[in-house]
Amino acid sequence: MSSESCQSLLNSIESRDCVVGVLGLGYVGLPLIDAFTNAGFKCFGFDVDSSKVDALQAGRSYIKHIDDSKIQAWLTKELFDASADMSRLSEPDVLLICVPTPLNDARDPDLKYVVDTCEKIAEVIRPGQLVVLESTTYPTTTRDVMVPILEKKGLKAGEDFFVAYSPEREDPGNPDFSAAGIPKVVGAIDDDSLAITCKLYESAVAGTVPVSSCEVAEAAKVLENIYRAVNIALVNELKVLFDEMDIDVWEVINAAKTKPFGFHAFYPGPGLGGHCIPIDPFYLSWLARKQGMTARFIELAGEVNRAMPGYVVSRTAEFLNEMEKPIRGSKICMLGVAYKKDVDDPRESPSFELMELLLKLGADLTYSDPHVPSLPSMRHFDLPAMDSQVLTAEFLASQDAVLIATDHTDFDYDTIVQHAPLIVDTRNATAGVTQNREKIRKT
């Protein structure tokens, strides 16, 4: 049956009769839908959050770089539907799983969202469907966790339905790389699953990179993020060292990156943010422990990067002390709570830990972020409700310190430096400011 089903699904992809289901309508799922609808496929979005479904059905987006006009275009062309009803998962021909894969409190992989999603699919899966996991995870997840759940009702993977792993590669806020413009690594449990999945993605994105197994594809994604985490840890550690030596780490990096070979610039910051880099390396270190090994580079990088928020707060205390002010009672405004420049994505942002640490020390804390108007509730942080402040001259002058945690383009750094008495810059955002530089402290 597999060969007949394989050819049938390949034909439906070729003719664009294939309906693509996307499970998880967030920062990965919506760009995927955009890529597939642009290629002429009808997409069916699923999410347990009915408010997201309602917003999309009304033509409203909740993600900055997927604007309302895109959603409305999907609806106008009748290429999109959305539902919170998981009994309808049998309707699409393809199911792409884009759900979170966080860490638990012990910093071990938490696959509850993947497991729950697969259990819902297993209830209604039908012969001939393709199920692809896109969520970042550790090697063996697709074969050892996902497939047994999908087979619970008696259908067999590779015989009755198809299974593959193709990790998401999304860079929110980067206009140079849309979902459609990034090649997809694809690994599958058998040749037919691989052929179908490659055909599917090649119809909507820049191309595919087929590999020999799901495990290779899973490991490739983790490697991509470990590479960044380790190199960011290196420059974060150098930042601490160079601070002690009164050397500007940003100037050092800018000098080093003039070398046309053998060097790629990474930059320090107040900690790691986003769903991938603060989390994914620990999947592999956890897997190493299960094999009786220690992933020492990964563990060390994690230690260095996790220490950055505490280091920034300590340095801020030192800078305030120079002005004969303690942190307790000082008015401190945090600039930026999104995890990266010019996005509205707060996932794993180091700003939340910075805020929590400052509040524990008694700071009179506010924040400003043009992309995050109200402080969202975060799973691991207990913060009071706050709204973003407008950076007027009067407000800035009333603060004891302004802490730049995210270097949004919308911030007027000349005005900030002109009016605030102290600027703690963790992102080198004030590099272009020429006046009042004596107020700036980099860390």
Place of tokens 């692809």: 132
Q: Are 316 and 327 in contact (CB under 8 A)?
A: yes
Residues near 78 by beta carbon (within 8 Å), at least 6 away in sequence: 42
Residues in the chain: 443
Of 230, 136, 199, the C-alpha closest to 9 is 199
Q: What is the number of other CB atoms lying within 10 angstroms of the CB of residue 421?
A: 16
Q: Alpha-carbon distance 275 to 284, whole Å?
A: 15
Angle at 298 (CA atoms; ends 188, 220), nearest 5 degrees: 20
Q: Classify strands 42-46 and 80-83 as parallel, antiparallel or unpaired.
A: parallel
Residues carrying an active site annotation: 276
Q: Are 277 and 228 in contact (CB under 8 A)?
A: yes
